[in-house]
Structure formats: structure tokens, C-alpha cells
Amino acid sequence: MEKGQRVIALGFFDGVHLGHAALLRATCELAREYNVAPAVISFDTPPCKTSDGRPVPMINSPLDRADIMRRLYGIDDLIFLHFDDGLRHMAWDRFVEWLKSDFGAVCLVAGSDFRFGYQGAGTASLLREKCAALSLGCRIVPPVLADGEPISSTRIRALLLEGQCRRAGELLGHRHLLTDTVRHGYRFGRTLGTPTVNMRFEEGVLVPRHGVYIAEAHILRTGLRVPAVTNIGVRPTVSGQDAVSVESHLLGFDGNLYGCQIRVEFYRFLRDERKFDKIEQLRDQIRADAAETLRFFDRNPIDPFDYPDWK
């Protein structure tokens, strides 16, 4: 393998969905042909903004995007560029030259809708022409369709905001997930006999529909996978604050997980978050949610990347 040389996939890869999967697989295939390393160059913050000037919320943090690309697609060489003013104002052709000179690119891979460079002036066709001029390989990957429409991060965001994590997972090619280090919470669940692990969505990451989900917690230090009831929301019964938390009650597990990294994968939306008049009502509902979650996993012994017709 040629040291320091790369076949580089370009894109933001938000959610790392099935459209991205086609691009990543092409990158690995070309890397074998060139006998170099497959790599991804992405950005740590979204290069685009909403109509009111705010950054588009990310489906996943850079940590989770990197984890998905490594774990599911075998790409270990991941470069996250900070989208600062220098990069924002770089001309598209200079960007391609920079990839060759500073990152050892021998071939570039991008989607057909890829736009880059100052004010998005660079297109897939211009990328192909510039690569030819620089004696670089280039592959433009067509979009992957679902229901006749291209799979996109925009579609997946809309599904997550509706709580449709199952359908979002079908377009992602993996379950929607959140990885975080377990932090100290209010310890209120322990007083109910339903202790939880407490996590947060990173700033700038999309928060799915508030409510209770059937989930699975992966304790990364041990590899243990545990069914979980996960609540995303503001805990209206016991808190008057607006801060969004992610609390998972791990079923059949008892142990200290503070400071441990956990990946929570979302299987199905169970119910909206609600305020109960009495604490005992909340406790009984959590127990009912736990029973439903266990029934779900009993009916659906699911392979990590399989999507049967979930009931």
C-alpha cells in the first residue's frame, strides 16, 4: 500500500444513510484497486444553514458519524475539517488541489449532488473535470432512491421529528443512535425502583420527537447489549425545566455506569411524554413501558442490521 496516499470520499455524511453507504463502498472498492487507504473528509459543523440563518441540525454528532463509518463500513481514516472562514471562502478548484497536495488524494469520490467551494460553486461535473486535469481518479455516485425519491438527510430529519425511528432506520441502513458518556442525573428513577442512565444530545444535534422509545443500550466497555426504555424530553412530572435529557431504564441490568460510554439505538416510538398527577402513576407507566419493551424483544430477536416487519 502506498504510504500517505488515499482514495477520499467527500461529503458531510449526516446520518450516514444508504445513499452515503453507496459512496463509502465505492471508496473502499477504489482504494483496493489503487492499493491505498480509503478515507473520508467531512466537516465538524454543517456547511449549510436554514432560511433564518441558523445551522441545520445534525442527525448525528461527529463522534457518532465516525463510529458508524468505522464500524459499519470499515473506514478508519476519517478527517473532520473545521468549517471556518478560510475553508468557507476557498475556491472550489483550489479545494481539489489542496486535497491532492496536502491529503495525498489519488482519487476522489462524491455524490452527484455534491456542492463545494465558495458559495457552492463546485459541482460534481466540475470535480470530474478538475480531477482529470490533475491526473486524479474520480467517481461520481448516483443517488440511492426509496419510494422513487432520493434518500436524503432532510427526509430522515423529518421522520425523526415525527418519532418514526423505524422508517428512519430503513433509510439509514442502521438504527438511529446516540452515544454519550453517562453523567450524573437527579437519581429520581432510583427512588421509583426504575434507575436510569442519563445522557444528552450534543449541541447542534437534532432532538427527535419527545417521548418514550423502545431502545437497546450498548455498554461499549463490555460489549453488553441491554433492552431499554428511553425517554427523550423535559421530564414534566418531576422537573419544571426546559433542558432536554435522555434517560434510559436498562432492563435486567444493575450496575454503576457513571463515566462509561453507552450507545443507545432507537427501535420504536412508544408514546408521547406526558405529565402525571401522581408519582405513582409515573412509576406504573414506566413499568408498563418496560413490559411492552420486553414483549417487543421477545417477538423480535433482531439481528444488528436486519429490518423485519416490526409489529
Task: Please name each of the domains of the chain with its CATH number.
Answer: 6-144 (3.40.50.620), 175-299 (2.40.30.30)
3-state SS assignment for residue 167: helix
35 DSSP assignment: T
pLDDT at 3: 59
- How far CA 155 is from CA of 21, 171, 191, 306, in Å, comes to 16, 9, 40, 21
The phi-psi region of residue 297 (left if phi > 0; otherwise alpha if psi is between -120 and 50; otherwise beta) is alpha
pLDDT at 282: 86
- How far CA 182 is from CA of 7, 61, 167, 194, 196, in Å, comes to 36, 16, 28, 16, 10
Q: Rounded to an integer, what distance in angstroms lies between the CA atom of residue 96 and that of residue 129?
A: 11
Q: In terms of C-beta density within 10 A (0-12 exposed, 13-18 middle, 19 or more buried), how is residue 40 classed?
A: buried
Condensed to tens digits (0 to 9), the pLDDT of residues 230-265 reads 999 987 655 556 788 899 999 999 888 999 999 999
pLDDT at 310: 36
Split at pLDDT 50, 70, 90, the class of 311 is very low
Neighbouring-strand partners of residue 230: 213, 248
pLDDT at 50: 55
Contact call for residues 237 and 199 (beta carbons, < 8 A): no
Split at pLDDT 50, 70, 90, the class of 275 is confident
Split at pLDDT 50, 70, 90, the class of 277 is confident
CA atoms within 13 A on the CB side of 190: 9
Condensed to tens digits (0 to 9), the pLDDT of residues 43-72 reads 888 776 655 667 789 999 999 999 999 999
On average, the pLDDT of the chain sits at 89
Signed CA dihedral, 145, 202, 209, 176: sign only: positive
Q: In what order do the strands lie in the sheet with 177-181?
A: 177-181, 261-271, 211-219, 224-233, 245-250, 197-199
Q: Rounded to an integer, what distance in angstroms lies between the CA atom of residue 23 and that of residue 261?
A: 29
pLDDT at 272: 94
Average pLDDT over residues 287-293: 95
Place of cell 482514495: 7
Cell reading at 87: 475553508
Average pLDDT over residues 21-32: 98
Cell reading at 92: 472550489
Condensed to tens digits (0 to 9), the pLDDT of residues 172-218 reads 999 999 999 998 765 555 555 678 899 999 999 999 999 999 999 99
Closest CA to 127 of 144, 143, 107: 107
Condensed to tens digits (0 to 9), the pLDDT of residues 81-126 reads 988 889 999 999 999 999 999 999 999 999 999 999 999 999 999 9
Phi, psi of 176, deg, nearest 5: -60, 145
Listed in sequence order, the residues at least 6 apart from 177 whose beta carbon sits closer than 8 Å to its beta carbon are 60, 64, 68, 263, 264, 265, 266
Q: Which residue has the higher pLDDT, 294 or 234?
A: 294
3-state SS assignment for residue 168: helix
Does the structure show a pLDDT above 60 at 131? yes
Q: In terms of C-beta density within 10 A (0-12 exposed, 13-18 middle, 19 or more buried), how is residue 150 classed?
A: middle
Q: Which residue has the higher pLDDT, 30 or 304?
A: 30
Condensed to tens digits (0 to 9), the pLDDT of residues 138-159 reads 999 999 999 999 999 999 999 9
